[in-house]
Chains A and B, each alone.
Chain A
């Protein structure tokens, strides 16, 4: 690896920390930098607490920190799952959104919110329907001769199906539930409560760590099934593991943050453009860049207007033109 590339990798790994500190500073309530650092370090050094306003502590630890951590976690989760699915399906254009996993999870979570109430953990139902969506996509796509095109098409069809079911759930929702549902569906990091985070954080954490550990195996899984099998890979078992972990983190992320599309597509792509296709680097670097990206997008979402704009709108506005650009660039390869 060249020195320039190595420096770039280090920069991408440090980036989340920089963006995190910047984002912590950002907000309608102004906290001076000195006060911010003192507040941040006060749990470690109790003496810092002296002369610090109670407001600082409650804003930093009660409002900003959970939200920033959620943004980083969701950004990392979606990027890692995107990179993993791209390797597994041997197709750089696949992601959890295109495969219908996000729509399945969104329907499951909405169903839970509408019929089981806010207090029942929606992750369970989100995961169940995300699994249903994946299985449906795989079952339909398997029957076709051109797996890559049909995979994308089937994903669109399954997404549309779950969107219709989602509309049905919305139809039955009370006006009060509907408003929350609506904002959450567009991808919103401000909606999650403490108990939701307590469930989703460990699930996303397990999935991200698991997929990062599998990073080299992902190279082998990106070979044709015949090649991978002849090199000693138990295809069925390992594919199941990767799909399980990606579905787990996507549904956990969707349950707390709604549908945040296109992150899993553009982040791994940018990484591959910068450092090459070796998943040993692509997967962990995607986690770091994804965390930074969603933090910045969320900064935009909460500071652009005097009210909160769902962050999913920004990721789509940025992501879709990028996707079209990639489609045009790669047309030779797969169409």
Chain B
């Protein structure tokens, strides 16, 4: 499934986002990068309809995202927040089960099929044995994986990850992006991810979107669009690009 943005304008407080034309292809990872305050998270939240973007600007396979009923949208698209804070310490299984909300009617409770799907999702991220542990007992890397498992339980084609690697060490960062890659290849998920680590973005993404001050500066395959001029334009500091092992590396 592909996501298309057409003339999206959204403003709140003193920030305004404007994206003319942007397309995210199916079964690919698109990394959205840019300095703090560029509007990356705002863009993601608009796409998920968490922020009230206007109708007629966001589409999934031609269907207007904003006009869809919530549960229908949730079946197509799952959102993984940067972090989860809550007053209640649910067990991992109960937590992942909540991803089934769109499939379970208001006055009903999860069936054994829902429980099975939650277990499969946990299995996929490698935390099946944690099912009965409480959420707050996990490390931050494990919590990210549980959040992804919950999104997988949603069985959506599109997966939206908001800075999933922030505060993670290099090992967990790599593991998480490997998981994202596996999801794009094995499960044909369309993955949108915001990242701060440019090297990781170049390495793992199929397409990149550079944002600055609420707009898109460049988009395309990492190899095609990544230049020193672009980086200086976006981040306003000098960076050098070197070739190593057939890959572009960025030196600050």
Q: Which residues of A contact B (CB under 8 A)?
A: 86-87, 90-92, 213-217, 219-220, 222-224, 226-234, 238, 241, 272, 276-278, 280, 333-334
With contact pairs A216-B109, A220-B101, A232-B74 given, residues A278 and B90 touching in the complex (Cβ less than 8 Å): yes
Name B162's closest neighbour in chain A (CB-CB): A226
CB contact list, B57-82 vs A, under 8 A: 69-75, 77-79, 81
Q: Which 3 pairs from chain A and chain B are nearest by CB?
A: A232-B74, A232-B102, A230-B79
Name A219's closest neighbour in chain B (CB-CB): B98
B90 touches A231 (CB 8 A): no
Interface size of B by Cβ–Cβ distance < 8 Å?
37
B87 touches A227 (CB 8 A): no
B165 interface residue per 8 A CB criterion: no
Counting chain B CB atoms within 10 Å of each CB, the highest count among A226, A229, A232, A278 belongs to A232
For chain A, what secondary structure do more than half of its interface residues adopt (helix, strand, loop), or is it mixed? helix
A277 touches B89 (CB 8 A): yes
Which chain B residues lie closer than 8 Å to A219 at the CB level? 90, 94, 97-98
Which chain A residues lie closer than 8 Å to B94 at the CB level? 219, 277-278
Which chain B residues lie closer than 8 Å to A232 at the CB level? 70-75, 101-102, 154
Q: Which residues of B contact A (CB under 8 A)?
A: 45, 48-50, 69-75, 77-79, 81, 84-91, 94, 97-99, 101-102, 104, 106-110, 150, 154
A224 touches B81 (CB 8 A): yes
Counting chain B CB atoms within 10 Å of each CB, the highest count among A90, A223, A241, A272 belongs to A223
B84 touches A223 (CB 8 A): yes
A216 touches B110 (CB 8 A): yes
A231 touches B109 (CB 8 A): no
A229, B166: Cα distance in complex, Å? 23
A238 touches B86 (CB 8 A): no
Which chain A residues lie closer than 8 Å to B79 at the CB level? 226-227, 230
A175, B232: Cα distance in complex, Å? 82
In the complex, which of the residues B45, B97, B104 contacts A226, with contact meaning CB atoms closer than 8 Å?
Answer: B45
B98 touches A223 (CB 8 A): yes
Which chain B residues lie closer than 8 Å to A224 at the CB level? 81, 84-86
In the complex, which of the residues B49, B87, B154 contacts A90, with contact meaning CB atoms closer than 8 Å?
Answer: B87
Q: Can you report 30 residue pairs joining A to B where beta carbons are below 8 Å apart?
A: A92-B88, A216-B104, A216-B109, A219-B90, A220-B98, A222-B87, A223-B84, A224-B85, A224-B86, A226-B45, A227-B79, A227-B81, A227-B84, A229-B48, A229-B49, A229-B70, A230-B77, A230-B78, A230-B81, A231-B74, A232-B70, A232-B72, A232-B74, A232-B154, A233-B70, A233-B101, A276-B91, A277-B88, A277-B90, A280-B109
Name A222's closest neighbour in chain B (CB-CB): B88
B49 touches A333 (CB 8 A): no
Which chain A residues lie closer than 8 Å to B48 at the CB level? 229-230
A241, B94: Cα distance in complex, Å? 23
A216 touches B86 (CB 8 A): no
Which chain B residues lie closer than 8 Å to A217 at the CB level? 101, 106-107
A215 touches B81 (CB 8 A): no
A215, B109: Cα distance in complex, Å? 8
Which chain A residues lie closer than 8 Å to B74 at the CB level? 230-232
